[in-house]
Amino acid sequence: MSGNTITTPDRVTYTPSRAARELGLKRREFDLAVHLGRIRTVPDEGGGGRRVAPVEIDRLRAEDGFPRSLHESVRAVGTGEAAAIMEVTKERFTRLARLGLVVPVYFYLNRYRALVWLYLADEIRQFATDEKNAHLVKGRMPEGLREQLDTGLDLRPRNWRGRHLGFLLRQAEDPWQRAGALAALLDPVQIADIAKDPYERAHLNRFRPGPPNHGAPGSPTALLAERIMTAGDPDEIGWLRADLAQTLDEAREHRSAPRPAPRQAPPAPQHDAHPSEPERTHRLLGWLRRRSA
């Protein structure tokens, strides 16, 4: 067994890094492919995260156009390149993204600490070539949409959360993990209001994924990731709370949250009605001393 593979009696599995090399992908491209469901993973039997089976590597290699087709399916572009694909200005593309008409798949903080959203090139191309979207790509923006933009509407964080939740739910294998995925988008106050039992809440938090890895804890990037990860719109919070409450009911039926064993009082000392031979001797000697005195 090596750090890149695990051998069991019935199968061999690869770490994400090894699987990415086998497929000719950069690690971020591999992670995105997993998030999008392009690459199927299996749980590590040793509890070390997700892994990839060789049969999945073979399936991807057998697809038409590999490796180019796989690379193109996970190609993520920023605003400038996305606007060029759509043949619009960057300003117009940003307005379409704020309206939620195109959904980001990734974000990061650049060296100027500006938030950068990335989009799938394939999805941008499909949006631009769809005749139903011609009036959005070319010509004057409809008045109703302009009014929404004027109010400061920006659906990019919410749409990213929806996409990320889909990934978390695909990875979940039981109701507790599904409940943890839903809880990942709510702040602790909301979770405590739904899971009032402290032991149940502690068990739920075991399955609550944190934000994607964006910098060291407490860094500006990590704080930004945490803020984007947490739902803020009242209606979004409402349906997340409703789904979490329902999924928690299913989780309770599936398996109760563990609780500490009840404390037992120490056993009371036992007084033997028939003292032992040394004890009888000790009592007799004491009686004789008292009598002699």
| DSSP codes joined into one string, the chain | --SSEEE-SS-EEE-HHHHHHHHT--HHHHHHHHHTTSS--EE-TTSS-EEB-HHHHHHHHTSTTTTHHHHHHT-EE-HHHHHHHHTS-HHHHHHHHHTTSS-EEEEEE-TT--EEEEEEHHHHHHHHH-GGGHHHHSSPPPHHHHHHHHTT---HHHHHHHHHHHHHHHH--SHHHHHHHHHTTS-HHHHHHH--SHHHHHHHHHT-------SSTTSHHHHHHHHHHS--SHHHHHHHHHHHHHHHHHHHHH-PPP-PPPP-PPPPPP--SS--HHHHHHHHHHHHHHHH-
The class (CATH top level) of 5-73 is mainly alpha
Q: Which of 49, 51, 39, 47 is nearest to 14 (CA)?
A: 51
- CA gap 73, 122 in Å, rounded: 6
At 49 the pLDDT is 80
Residue 113 confidence (pLDDT): 87
Each residue's pLDDT tens digit in the chain (293 positions)? 445 555 443 468 999 999 999 999 999 999 999 999 999 999 887 767 889 999 999 999 999 999 999 999 999 999 999 999 999 999 999 999 999 999 999 999 888 889 999 999 999 999 999 999 999 998 889 999 999 999 999 999 999 999 999 999 999 999 999 999 999 999 999 999 999 999 999 999 999 998 887 678 888 888 999 999 999 999 999 999 999 999 999 999 999 999 887 776 566 666 555 555 666 565 655 655 655 64
Distances (CA, A) of 38 to 22, 25, 105, 111: 15, 13, 14, 30
Predicted TM-score (pTM) of this structure: 0.82
pLDDT value at position 284? 57
User: Residue ranges per domain, the chain?
Assistant: 5-73, 76-154, 158-254
